[in-house]
Structure 1
Amino acid sequence: MVRPLLDRLTDSNALSLGILGVGNIGIVHLKSAVAMPDVEVVAAADAVPENRARAERAGASRTYDDYGTLLESEELDAAVVALPPFLHADAVEQAAQAGVDVFVEKPLARSTEEADALLATASEADIAVGVDHTLRYQPDMVGVKEAYDRGSVGHVPYASITRLNDGPLGRPPADDRPPAWPLDPDAAGGGSLLELGVHCFDVLEWLFGELEVRDASLGQSLEIDVEDAATVLMEAPEAGTTITLHCGSYQWEQLPEVNTRLRLEGVTGTISNRDHLPENFYAGAAGSALSNVASRFTGDEPDVFGPTFYLRAHYDALADFCEAIRAGERPPVDGADGRRTLALAERAAELAAAEPAATDRDPDEPETPEVSL
């Protein structure tokens, strides 16, 4: 097979990487890894032939239709687990048997119970576990944290975060049937809380320290078996901050360029991620691509995904993991971080389930007035 032009020559010191699952996010990880100077994408695995063909075009040296076969057949330093959540535990177990460190797509698992078993397996095999919580790698979130850590607005009594995504049918018109597993609570573990909320929990604890969930509400805008909207009230005791989180998947025709809003209300001012966004998300993309081609021949560091914002965050998260593995260090976002976000999601779901329905309330109890902002 002829390797793509953008593929680079590897050397014996490169970290050998396998990609387990090359759907949408798996391809992002594959392209990121191919662009890294000291990483060699040895192989990729996916059950879908079209995905395997796409992975070969993107730079995978070999492809397999089963990730277990890949792990048995290849000599790897690490593997990216970009499979649906119901396969994460099995993939990590097989990687552990092969002595391969893993970078797991979020959510780490479908529950804290499953996460505990997964992490115990990894610990027994002495393999590292990283988790792809990329929100903390976005430049706007980095800007917020830097401003907050400087104390630029003093104490922050209140903060809010919103994260939105396309609904399960995708952007209208819904021409193709969506995958079944994201709408199956047994396969996915849940809906918006695990798809979107865990990212928010991670970046909030990165900012404020450990969170405590005080109340939550879950709902469906469509007749599906998982929540597609969630609102959570939290406190960060160490920071003395009250926080509201909303995440949801909606059938919008077009999402905004930035689908996450973070706002910190300080006693002397406000910090917003909107203040730290690039002026133009896509300007210079073609020029950046051409410079990346040239860097293969000059040995310069490629400006991978520089103008594309979200993809750059994925690149940086995976690069940090690979650097830690190469140095024999703990991944900067590890399994304990991934488990913590699951614990917060579970607590929110428990509180939401405990809320009495409107028909169950005491008729003599005064109603809480509706407040609109």
Structure 2
Amino acid sequence: MPPTVLSRWTDSSAFELGVLGVGNIGMVHLKSALSMPDVDVVAAADAVPENRDRADSAGVARTYDDYTTLLEHEDLDAAIVALPPFLHADAVERAAEAGVDVFVEKPLARSTEEADRMLETAREAGIAVGVDHTLRYQPDMVGVKDEYDEGSVGHVPYASITRLNDHPLGKPPADEAPPEWPMDPDAAGGGSLIELGVHCFDVLEWLFGDLEVRDATMGQTLEIPAEDAATVLLRAPETETTITLHCGTYQWEQLPEVNTRLRLEGVTGTVSNKDHIPNNFYAGAAKSALSNVASRFTGDEPDVFGPTFYLQAHYDALEDFCEAVRNDETPPVDGADGRRTLELAEAAYELAAESDDAEIETPEVMP
């Protein structure tokens, strides 16, 4: 980044942050930022009035109905881009024009082509780009990596990861119609492989180094426009590990259950993320869930941050980003990492399409 940009913060000044998009994940980021020392959330933007009201109730000084207006009127150090994926590129471009660093919710973009344009825009403007890939911040995943790095199970010939939830339809009965954009592959960038698989790709390369996509298949258990299930076969050449990845948006996820599983099958034993879930997680998550159910009857605001460790992971990821850009350092999970997950997803989509298009030869029957 240019020196004029790098030197714009001082130790005595608060880190001024804006939040672009305060829906579900945007509120998680907002509440994370509000609880951070030396961070001042000065403004938030959202096109939905109810979301702006939530941000206002949470303690944000000013709200806007358009993120472009916010960036034009506020003097920010950084902005959290928690908008739908089809708006990420425009938001980063507007932030670049304002000289504002960005922390972008995953996926970084809808394609590698779009990501390349975004990162080039950021490079030319001298702004930093961080991406919210949070699996690597969860203590259960950190525990797996620590155990693996210590060599406790030796060489790992095989590993598997599964990530499931019920996005975007939710658990029946539906109280209201789901947002339109998650159901639109053009707006979201794809289906469950983009929604969940990019997280898995990121944590797997964090563990094993560069991955190669060997095969993939996509499935639809529901009548929706994009895949709600994806299975990918991967190979990590550096560690000679074969990996299966499965992700899907067809299974209800309700606290305190967390539908993420990671297993490393080593030559001397197995490492599982289930062995590293904090002891107090289920009690804390259940308490939060019950509190949120009660809030529906009392009219109180649900606690979207809550005591759950995977929401704490969002806090830690954002904190790392803020610390890095304040110290003129590259964010620990940067735009290149976000682009890489899209590259792997695209390779999987291509292989799955080739498999679907392959002609099945009818064997000749001898008389």
Structure 1 segment 9-88 matched on structure 2, within 5 A: 13-88=13-88
2:336 — aligned with what? 336
1:277 — aligned with what? 277
How far is 1:24 from its partner? 0.2
**8 Å contact 1:213–1:233 — kept in the other structure?**
yes
How far is 1:266 from its partner? 0.2
1:252 — aligned with what? 252
**8 Å contact 1:163–1:196 — kept in the other structure?**
yes
How far is 1:172 from its partner? 1.2
- Residue 169 (1) aligns with residue 169 (2): yes
| Alpha-carbon distance in 2 for matches of 1:99, 1:258 | 38
2:312 — aligned with what? 312
> Structure 1 residues 95, 214: closer, same or farther in 2, change over 3 A?
same
| Alpha-carbon distance in 1 for matches of 2:328, 2:311 | 26
Letter matched to residue 360 of structure 2: R
Structure 2 residue ranges without an equivalent (≥5): 1-10, 289-303
Helix, strand or coil at the partner of 1:75: coil
> Structure 1 residues 100, 356: closer, same or farther in 2, change over 3 A?
closer
How far is 1:27 from its partner? 0.4
Structure 1 segment 1-373 matched on structure 2, within 5 A: 13-252=13-252, 254=254, 257-281=257-281, 283=283, 307-356=307-356, 360-364=359-363
Letter matched to residue 173 of structure 1: P
Letter matched to residue 327 of structure 2: A
Deviations 1:69-124 (Å, cap 9, x if unpaired)? 00000000000000000000000000000000000000000000000000000000
Helix, strand or coil at the partner of 1:355: helix
Instruction: Tell me how many residue pairs correspond in the alignment.
Output: 340
Helix, strand or coil at the partner of 2:165: strand
Letter matched to residue 131 of structure 2: V
> Structure 1 residues 356, 78: closer, same or farther in 2, change over 3 A?
closer
| Alpha-carbon distance in 2 for matches of 1:316, 1:31 | 12
Letter matched to residue 281 of structure 2: F
**8 Å contact 1:159–1:242 — kept in the other structure?**
yes
**8 Å contact 1:181–1:187 — kept in the other structure?**
yes
- TM-score, length-scaled by structure 2: 0.89
Deviations 1:199-238 (Å, cap 9, x if unpaired)? 0000000000000000000011111111100000000000
**8 Å contact 1:14–1:38 — kept in the other structure?**
yes
| Alpha-carbon distance in 1 for matches of 2:337, 2:113 | 15
How far is 1:168 from its partner? 2.9
**8 Å contact 1:233–1:245 — kept in the other structure?**
yes
**8 Å contact 1:170–1:251 — kept in the other structure?**
no
| Alpha-carbon distance in 1 for matches of 2:331, 2:73 | 25
**8 Å contact 1:19–1:44 — kept in the other structure?**
yes
Helix, strand or coil at the partner of 1:307: coil
Deviations 1:17-51 (Å, cap 9, x if unpaired)? 00000000000000000000010001000000100
Which stretch of the first structure deviates more once superposed, 305-314 or 207-216? 305-314
How far is 1:251 from its partner? 4.8
How far is 1:285 from its partner? 8.1
| Alpha-carbon distance in 1 for matches of 2:110, 2:79 | 20
**8 Å contact 2:85–2:188 — kept in the other structure?**
yes
| Alpha-carbon distance in 1 for matches of 2:244, 2:286 | 39
- TM-score, length-scaled by structure 1: 0.87
Helix, strand or coil at the partner of 2:281: coil
Task: Tell me the percent identity.
Answer: 80
Helix, strand or coil at the partner of 2:30: helix
RMSD: 2.2
Structure 1 residue ranges without an equivalent (≥5): 1-10, 289-303, 367-373
Letter matched to residue 234 of structure 2: M
> Structure 1 residues 209, 283: closer, same or farther in 2, change over 3 A?
same
